[in-house]
């Protein structure tokens, strides 16, 4: 079993939709959870960072962690064409390097 599973997509949605991006992980020791956004021909940029369980909101973005299910989510409200990118989740136990998912390609069409 891979440490982090992420559906590569592509996920195609109309502008204004609520987007849900998800990852599952296998190691219950992971406590740090990150979402990165990567535009075409660019490096990933840190979007959201959360520690332990719960929700974290930043504008139109909400990161959610369910440690009991080993499931993390990123929600995007009122999606825009500029949100079209690949979204990578990353998880870490704190004493070792984060493990990344494969990334989900998101396309928001006008």
Partner 1 sequence: ETGVTQTPRHLVMGMTNKKSLKCEQHLGHNAMYWYKQSAKKPLELMFVYSLEERVENNSVPSRFSPECPNSSHLFLHLHTLQPEDSALYLCASSQTPTGIYGYTFGSGTRLTVV
Residue among 1, 69, 82, 95 that touches partner 1 (CB under 8 A): 95
Q: Does 99 bind partner 1 (CB under 8 A)?
A: yes
Q: Does 94 bind partner 1 (CB under 8 A)?
A: yes
Whose structure tokens read 């409200």?
Answer: 77
82: DSSP letter: G
Q: Which is nearer to partner 1, 17 or 22 (CB)?
A: 22
Q: How many CB atoms lie within 10 A of CB 19?
A: 19
Q: Which is nearer to partner 1, 71 or 96 (CB)?
A: 96
3-state secondary structure of 81: helix
The rounded distance, in Å, linking the Cα atoms of 86 and 95 is 27
- Please identify, among the stretches 10-18, 35-43, 53-61, 64-72, the one whose residues bind partner 1 according to the rule CB under 8 A: 35-43
Residue among 22, 62, 73, 92 that touches partner 1 (CB under 8 A): 92
Find out whether 71 and 22 touch, Cβ atoms under 8 Å: yes
Find out whether 93 and 29 touch, Cβ atoms under 8 Å: yes
Rule CB under 8 A: which residues touch partner 1? 4, 8, 32, 34, 36, 41-46, 49, 88, 92, 94-103
């Amino acid at each position: 079993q891979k440490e982090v599973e992420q559906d590569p997509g592509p996920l195609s949605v109309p502008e204004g939709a609520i987007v849900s991006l998800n990852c599952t992980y296998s190691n219950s020791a992971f406590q740090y959870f990150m979402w990165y956004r990567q535009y075409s021909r660019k490096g990933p940029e840190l979007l959201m960072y959360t520690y332990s369980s719960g929700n974290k909101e930043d504008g139109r973005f909400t990161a959610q962690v369910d440690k009991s299910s080993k499931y993390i989510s990123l929600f995007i409200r009122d999606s825009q064409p500029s949100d079209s990118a690949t979204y990578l989740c990353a998880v870490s136990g704190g004493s070792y390097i984060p493990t990344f998912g494969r990334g989900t390609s998101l396309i928001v069409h006008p």
